[in-house]
A and B are shown apart, each in its own frame.
Chain A
Amino acid sequence: MTYSPLLLAGAASLALTAPLKAQDLTAEVFSSWTSGGELKALDAIKSEFEARGGTWENASVAGFENANAAFQNRIMAGDPPAVKQLIVGQDPLEFIEAGLMTPVTDVAEAGHWADVIPASILESITYDGEIYLTPVGIHGESWMFYSMPAFEKAGIDGEPESWDEFFADMDALKAAGITPIAWGGQSWQEAKVFNMVLLTQVGLDGFMKIFVDKDADVLSSEGVKSTLEIVAKMRGYVDEGAPGRNWNDATAMVIEGTAGVQFMGDWAKGEFTNAGLTPEVDFGCAMAPSTPGMIYIGDAFGYPKLEGAEAAQKLMAEVVMDPKVQVEFSLNKGSMPIRTDVDKSQFDVCTQKGLAMLEAGTIVPEHAITITPEQVGLLTDFVGEFFNTPDADIDEAMEQFAEVFE
């Protein structure tokens, strides 16, 4: 067993208050990760946690809503798990404000996190000067995956550089008898497409002004209007079976070559690689046409206040931020490590593209990070309604979009 000096100090100070449990390194870890790649990613953390003397109790519940229901009720019962998987940003804000979470600022300072994680992410895990979350990986979610054979068949050479080129390519696919866009017709997926188009139209600054400052000028700008127009135009390039479709089924269409492109987060790579496809050989990964950057969502762990769990929580925080663990985790989950100082050589071409953006700092957080869960819901409703109403009026939609941020 190897204890860091900090951990011993932490354990020693704890010993004053809870002498019996001071050395208890048992942590119940609550996540919503239960599918293949997610489990392997979680396992990377688990094995390191155990190697350092911790005892891991798994409490996974699949599905965000189910996991939230179970977790919220456990908090109500006064029986929280020691570690909870969360999304960085506004999602855990209520728990933190209610004083239900333990900060890990001391671990962060000892580990010099400020030097190794991007400032914008550090900001989204800091609340009132204290660091509450340990980010483990970020997902780029403004990707455009495409079928190389389909592109070839339609005579498309190279990735579209602008939306005009994009729609020309989509026309070519259509002409070749291929469904242009493999569309996952669920509102949350549609909201992600909307966001990625929005980023191309209002830029990194404009994007932040909308989601962080709720800037009325940007909200009513030409960029928002052209976003809506582009999204509206996409309606003509999806097949009639799109509504309700899981993203996995949409990915399968690209894998089979029956559809050309799919807009999705980098987790979709898991389906491609499971099917034995190689990036940049069988399928291509590009960002949305003409995008100035990448939208990300961050996976993290938070630490509910739980008597006697402090030592285990600190250990967990260290393990999550371990460079090797971050690499191992992201390799399995299809994400990118948060730490900028890790060995990136093992990542595939797609992830390399994302990592380049991460390093260049041309990344913006997705809505779940910047706006409240309620606003996330309203935005999702708005986009879903807009995309699925073929005769939706653009000006009216602009007003509705602005209302989300009121």
Chain B
Amino acid sequence: MTRSAEINPRGAKPTRITAGRIGLYAFLISAALFFTVPLYVMIVTSLKTMPEIRAARIFALPDHLDFSAWKVAWAGACAGAECAGIRAGFLNSVLITLPSVVISVLFGAINGYALSFWRPRGGNLMFGLLMAGALVPYQVFLYPLVRGFAALGLYNSLIGIVIVHVLFGLPLVTLLFRNYFVTIPEELFKASRLDGAGFWRIFLEIMLPMSVPMLVVAAMMQFTGIWNDFLLGLVFAGRDNLPMTVQLNNIVNTTTGERLYNVNMAATILTALVPLAIYFFSGRWFVRGIAAGAVKG
């Protein structure tokens, strides 16, 4: 705590306990309670046995801790040879998500930078069309895209699914960066141009370092979206590259089959662990002064 206090000296000193501070914490804690209730239900359910779950007391603590559902969710435990837990798709999810996030965020940053500062001819039109495209439920686009990818030989491949994620991610990342760069003072850009810096130099040496908070936010959003994607991965990745959400769906989704709620809950939490870890540890980037400092520097 003391270290971060050194990094961000701001606001009123927090040491005094005032009515305002109490109100602030009361607000935060009650909000946290609202957000936590579903997670609480999920965790206690995942630790119960099916007879306990059938008793339908969703807030009750488990009689005794039973972690078997977590084991089944992660590694699978049924008799059939095809019965794998979500472990099976973990590596694939990583292999799909990392390049997709890096490439799409990079494109988004370049687009936002070019659109905000250089304003190339037709840029606004392109942006408008991109936004309009993002307003159509993407499921409608699947047929023609599948046809195209099959013709290009990109169907059922890791490269194919990465390209698909980049294509569908472009509107979001472009929007984020365009609106972020708009807030950066134009003078900064003009001064660099007068110094003779070109398109890429300004981008790499000035704009990119200044957009760290937005890079983090964009990467977080893309990571979450792509990590949780199910349908695109299912359709484009091919059987060898299926992401773990496909396994998750196979565990939790059924029409006429039995539902093991404890396993379902555990599998869902396990699948979300990587994005959750990112949220938690990205805290160091949510620090005041990075952007502001860069503006002055």
User: Do A and B touch each other in the complex, judged by CB within 8 A?
Assistant: yes
A residues with a Cβ closer than 8 A to B are 28, 32-40, 42-43, 46, 57-64, 66, 69-70, 73-74, 76-79, 139, 246, 248-249, 252-253, 255-256, 258, 265, 267, 270-271, 274-275
Q: Which residues of B contact A36 (CB under 8 A)?
A: 78, 257-258, 260
B258 (CB) vs chain A CBs: closest residue: A270
- Alpha-carbon distance A392/B259, docked complex (angstroms): 33
B254:A34 contact, CB within 8 angstroms: yes
Which positions 65-122 of chain B face chain A at CB distance < 8 Å? 78-83
Q: Known contacts A43-B79, A61-B246, A69-B139; is A274 also within 8 Å of B50 by CB? A: yes
B257 touches A270 (CB 8 A): yes
Q: Which residues of B contact A267 (CB under 8 A)?
A: 256-257
Flag if B51 contacts A33 (CB, 8 Å): no
B234 at the interface (CB under 8 A from A): yes
- Asked if B51 and A275 sit within 8 Å, CB to CB, the answer is yes
Is B16 positioned at the interface, with any CB of A under 8 Å from its CB? no
Contact flag A69-B234 (CB < 8 Å), given A42-B80, A256-B55, A275-B54:
yes
C-beta contact mask, B233-246 vs A, less than 8 Å → 1, else 0?
01100010000001
Q: Is B179 an interface residue (CB 8 A)?
A: no
Kindly identify which residue among A37, A60, A79, A256 contacts B258, using a CB–CB cutoff of 8 Å: A37
Which of A40, A63, A248 interacts with B80 by CB under 8 Å?
A: A40
Name the contact of B155 in the complex, choosing from A32, A79, A256 (C-beta under 8 A). Answer: A79
Q: Smallest CB-CB separation from A63: which chain B residue?
A: B253
Q: Which 9 A-B pairs give the minimum distances between C-beta atoms?
A: A35-B257, A62-B253, A34-B250, A77-B150, A252-B54, A267-B256, A63-B253, A58-B82, A43-B80
Contact (A63, B254) CB under 8 Å given A76-B143, A78-B150: yes
Contact of A77 among B80, B147, B246, B256 (CB under 8 A): B147
In the complex, what residues of B have CB within 8 A of residue A265's CB?
A: 256
Residues of A within 8 A of B251 (CB): 34, 62
Is B2 positioned at the interface, with any CB of A under 8 Å from its CB? no
Interface residues of chain A: helix, strand, loop or mixed (majority): helix
**Distance A275 CA – B54 CA, assembled complex (angstroms):** 9
Please, which residue of chain A has its CB at the minimum distance from the CB of B230?
A66
* Bound Cα distance A43, B260 (Å): 19
| Contact B250 A59, beta carbon cutoff 8 Å | no
Binding site for A on B (CB under 8 A): 50-51, 53-56, 78-83, 139, 142-143, 146-147, 149-150, 155-156, 230-231, 234-235, 239, 246, 249-260
In the complex, the answer to whether A37 meets B50 with C-beta atoms within 8 Å is no
**Apart from A74-B235, A246-B259: 19 A-B pairs, beta carbons within 8 A:** A34-B257, A35-B258, A36-B78, A38-B254, A38-B256, A39-B80, A43-B80, A62-B249, A62-B252, A63-B254, A66-B253, A73-B146, A73-B235, A79-B155, A248-B258, A267-B257, A270-B257, A271-B258, A274-B258
Q: Which residues of B contact A38 (CB under 8 A)?
A: 254, 256-257
What's the Cα separation between A59 and B234 when bound, in Å? 10
- A59→B258 contact, CB < 8 A: no
Chain A nearest Cβ from B173, distance in angstroms = 25
Q: Which chain B residues border A46 with CB–CB below 8 Å?
A: 80-82
Q: Which of A59, A69, A76, A246 has the most chain B CB atoms closer than 10 A to its own CB?
A: A76
Bound complex: CA of A34 vs CA of B143, how far in Å? Answer: 26
- Which residues of the other chain, B, contact A62 by a CB distance below 8 angstroms? 249-254, 257
Partner pick for B259 among A35, A73, A74, A78, CB 8 A cutoff: A35
Query: B235–A69 contact, CB under 8 A?
Result: yes
CB distance from B238 to the nearest CB of A (A): 9
Q: How far is the CA of A76 from the CA of B260 in the complex (A)?
A: 34
Q: Which residues of B contact A40 (CB under 8 A)?
A: 78-80
By a CB distance below 8 angstroms, the chain A residues around B55 are 256
In whole Å, how far is B270's beta carbon from the nearest beta carbon of chain A? 17
The residues of A that contact B146 with a CB separation of less than 8 Å are 73, 76-77
Pick from B50, B150, B253, B257 the residue with the most CB of A within 10 Å.
B257
**B63, chain A: closest CB distance, angstroms:** 16
Query: Could you list 9 A-B pairs, sorted by A, with CB under 8 Å?
Result: A46-B80, A58-B82, A61-B246, A63-B253, A73-B143, A76-B143, A255-B54, A271-B258, A275-B54
Please indicate which of the listed interface residues B81, B231, B250, B256 has the most CB atoms of chain A within 10 Å of its own CB.
B256
Contact of B156 among A33, A79, A255 (CB under 8 A): A79
What residues of chain B lie closer than 8 Å to A258, measured between beta carbons?
Answer: 56
